[in-house]
Amino acid sequence: MKYTSLPAFAFSLMLLPAAAYAQDYEAAVKSSLPDFAQANAFSGVTINVACRHLPAMDFIESHKALFEQYTGAKINFTDYPENDLRSHIVADAANKAGGFQLYCLDDNYIPLFASNKWVQPLDSVIKPAYKIDDLFDSLKSAYSWQGKLSGLPIYSEVTILYYRKDLLAAKNIAVPKTIAELEDAAVKLKNAPRTYGIALRGLRGEGMNVYTWTEWLRSYGGDFLGPQMQPVFNSPEAIEGTEHYAKIIHDAGPPGSGTWGWPQVSSSFAAGRVAMTVESTAFYPTFNDPKQSNVVGNVGYAVVPAGPKGAYPANYAIGLAVAASVDPSSKAFTATSDFLQWATSQQMEFARTAQGIGNEDRKSVNQSALLKSKLDPAYIEAVSEGQKITKTNYRPMIPQWREMGDIIGAHIESVFTGSTTAKDALDAAAAEVSDRFKTEGVLNTPRQYEELFPSN
């Protein structure tokens, strides 16, 4: 007994500080309630949330009882599959059905929803306790439409360069800082058919190939739209960027990877079949989970490589917004906006980080000792730097973006598979987008956002 209990006792002593920390963060979530809402003020109010499963969302859902007990409001979460969520929310918003008070929205839906007045502006109700300036700046502007805050983020990501430390060291290759170095390293690291140099997204889609291809477009100086909303993403710079993206897939990517989406890209890196990838920070847990990854301990992290015009990490965020059907003068609106701020507060984010749910939205969490104790410092550095340099209008934040992105995605996929040239594909996409903009009545109207290269 004595001999077994002694190590157990020592072990529990070691665990004690960590456990105490987690409890402290939980306690802070509870004790922060008076900063966000009045006690027993919202009895009879029901808040329906249209959302999808995300670790951060599930974490909020598991804490909703605290808010319910404190304020008397009732909160229902309705989880939809990712692809169904949008149509449910659009139907609710467009028909003013009022079925939901909170919508879970990707940042690139904010322009569509805000311009159609489907969501309520939030500027006047943000409380000092929310510490809004603590959010990454790019994230705050992504959730604003024409200067009005239209939602609050619960999840954010940027892209970073993941590389295999062991493979680069074996060939004595330095971590690529430019796209030229990346191309060079990828070809040198290719050892077919066992390992390939790099995997990048090729599959069509605004959230697929366009998400990472835009880095190349921006890095070579390409823009999406001119001052009068005319498509310019078939400019010589854009063609050059697209050719480089296609070339690295062709020269160093696995066969057929011109049609890969993120599932194939991430699983091939986790399986150790590719040496590098430029992917979302969302894959950090996958690559570091021994159950899903063969490369634990060998993964290096860096800011995405730069082209002639600099480095442009992709960004993406998910947040919650208050439906327009909630009357801003009503008790329901106060309850909804109070709950929203509490649910996305700094305290909540620390508590979920303590539970190992990453993807931080706030500078304070990103730079905290808590995060450093949980994640690779090189990764934290890459995220912090990436969040600093990423641009809100990396992709145009306009209501038409999704559709325009999908049109571009379909055409550039055939460049990545070698079926057509970058010029032909981008010209065809530009013509299609022009037609569509004409129908929508936005062609030859002033552009509503700042392009990254204003010279165009």
Partner 1 sequence: MTATGGIAIGSSPRLAPRRRSWLRSPWLVPLPGFLLLAVLSLPPFLYALYLSFINVDISLPNNKVHFVGLANYAQVLGSPVGQHALLITLIVSFGSTAAAIVIGLVIAYLIHLFAGRLDGLVTVLVLIPLAVSPVAMALVFSLMLDPLYGPVPQIVAFLTGALIAPTGTSLGALLTIIFVQTWQWSPLAVILLLGGIKSLPIEPIEAAMIDGASFWRALWHIHLPLLRPLLAVAAIFEFILCSQVFAATELLTNGGPGNATVDLSLYIYKIGISESSQVSVAAAAGVITLILGLISTAVWLKVAKWDVQVYQ
> Would you say 222 and 423 are in contact if contact means Cβ atoms under 8 Å apart?
no
178, 410, 423, 443: residue in contact with partner 1 (rule CB under 8 A): 410
Locate 398 and state its tokens: 């306009």
- List, in order, residues 6 or more apart from 15 with CB less than 8 Å away: none
CA distance linking residue 2 with residue 339, whole number of Å:
50
Determine if 94 is a binding residue for partner 1 (CB under 8 A).
yes
Number of H helices, E strands in the chain: 20, 10
Q: Could you give the angle at the alpha carbon of 447 between the alpha carbons of 445 and 449, nearest 5°?
A: 160
Residue that is written with structure tokens 């005319």 in the block: 230
Determine if 263 is a binding residue for partner 1 (CB under 8 A).
no
Q: How far is the CB of 256 from partner 1 (least distance, A)?
A: 2
DSSP string, 235-254: SHHHHHHHHHHHHHHHHHSP
Q: How far is the CB of 427 from partner 1 (least distance, A)?
A: 11
Q: Which residues of 152-178 are buried (b: 16+ CB within 10 A; e: fewer)?
A: bbbbbbbbbbbbbeebbeeeebebbee
Contact region with partner 1 (CB under 8 A), list: 139-147, 342-350, 377-385, 429-437: 429-437
Determine if 293 is a binding residue for partner 1 (CB under 8 A).
no
Amino acid sitting at position 363: K
CA distance linking residue 73 with residue 301, whole number of Å:
44
83, 172, 329, 455: residue in contact with partner 1 (rule CB under 8 A): 83
12, 46, 69, 116: residue in contact with partner 1 (rule CB under 8 A): 116
CA distance linking residue 383 with residue 374, whole number of Å:
14
Residues 56-75 that bind partner 1 (CB under 8 A): none
259, 286, 288, 448: residue in contact with partner 1 (rule CB under 8 A): 259
271, 297, 330, 450: residue in contact with partner 1 (rule CB under 8 A): 271
Determine if 330 is a binding residue for partner 1 (CB under 8 A).
no
Contact region with partner 1 (CB under 8 A), list: 10-18, 257-265, 292-300, 320-328: 257-265
Residue that is written with structure tokens 């009879």 in the block: 44
Residues 172-231 that bind partner 1 (CB under 8 A): 192-193, 202-206
Which residues form the interface with partner 1 (CB under 8 A)? 83, 87, 90, 94, 112, 116, 192-193, 202-206, 254-259, 261, 264, 268, 271, 273, 399-400, 402-403, 406-407, 410-414, 416-420, 425, 428, 432, 435-436, 439-440
